[in-house]
């Protein structure tokens, strides 16, 4: 990650400073099995609490990795799942007001189960499945607050990819 600060000239002619966070793109995965979706729960330091999210991540050592390979790798790493089918749902920007980072969204299906392969930073991350309708209810209650997870879920649902 880098922080870039550019001197800019605004539309009104005034000069200013614009800060931009530059990070590689990442992936978010919706692992679906029947009426269930797999989620992860992990401690998020900036919030000081554990949060419920969809599996997601990037490979800092391979920032140009193919998004499909990255999605398959992150799914296996965080949940122990392997998908025989990965459907690209779309691409979104995380926070385009201050960052160039975006994310690819994949729906993973026809799943087989193995064991998690967590990185050292992910110790304590747990994975489990809940009903798709229950995940939607948690979003509506504000209990799933990760914008990436919410956007990915709602986009997949709007495209008719979730029951």
**Into how many domains does the chain fold?**
1
Query: Does some domain include residue 137?
Result: yes
For residues 55 and 40, the answer to whether their CB atoms sit within 8 Å is yes
Give the per-residue pLDDT at 38.
98
Q: Is the pLDDT assigned to residue 121 strictly greater than 90?
A: no
Residues above pLDDT 70, as percent of the chain:
100
Give the per-residue pLDDT at 85.
97
Give the per-residue pLDDT at 144.
97
Query: Does some domain include residue 6?
Result: no
Tell me which of 123 and 6 has the higher pLDDT. Answer: 6
- What span, in angstroms and rounded, lies between the C-alpha atoms of 10 and 104? 31
CA dihedral sign of residues 31, 37, 38, 43: positive
- What span, in angstroms and rounded, lies between the C-alpha atoms of 135 and 37? 8
Q: Is the pLDDT assigned to residue 152 strictly greater than 90?
A: yes
Give the per-residue pLDDT at 120.
72
Query: Does some domain include residue 10?
Result: no
pLDDT band at 154 (very low <50, low <70, confident <90, very high): very high
For residues 28 and 55, the answer to whether their CB atoms sit within 8 Å is yes
CATH number at residue 133: 3.90.79.10
Question: Within the chain, how many helices (H) and strands (E) appear?
Answer: 3, 9
Tokens representing residue 130 in the block? 């809940």
**Which residues span the domain enclosing 75?**
25-89+102-158
Considering only CA atoms, which of 111, 105, 116, 48 is closest in space to residue 79?
116
pTM: 0.90
Query: Does some domain include residue 11?
Result: no
């Amino acid at each position: 990650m880098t922080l870039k600060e550019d001197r800019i000239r605004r539309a009104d002619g005034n000069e200013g400073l614009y800060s931009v966070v530059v990070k590689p793109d990442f992936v978010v995965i919706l692992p679906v099995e029947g009426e269930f979706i797999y989620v992860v729960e992990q401690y998020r330091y900036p919030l000081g609490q554990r949060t419920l999210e969809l599996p997601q991540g990037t490979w800092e050592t391979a920032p140009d990795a193919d998004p499909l390979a990255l999605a398959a790798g992150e799914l296996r790493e965080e949940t122990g799942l392997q998908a025989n089918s990965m459907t690209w749902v779309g691409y979104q920007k995380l926070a385009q007001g201050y960052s160039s980072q975006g994310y690819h969204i994949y729906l993973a299906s026809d799943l087989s189960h193995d064991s998690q392969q967590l990185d050292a930073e992910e110790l304590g991350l747990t994975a489990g499945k809940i009903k798709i309708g229950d995940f939607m209810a948690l979003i509506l209650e504000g209990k799933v607050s990760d914008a990436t997870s919410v956007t990915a879920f709602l986009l997949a649902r709007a495209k008719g990819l979730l029951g």
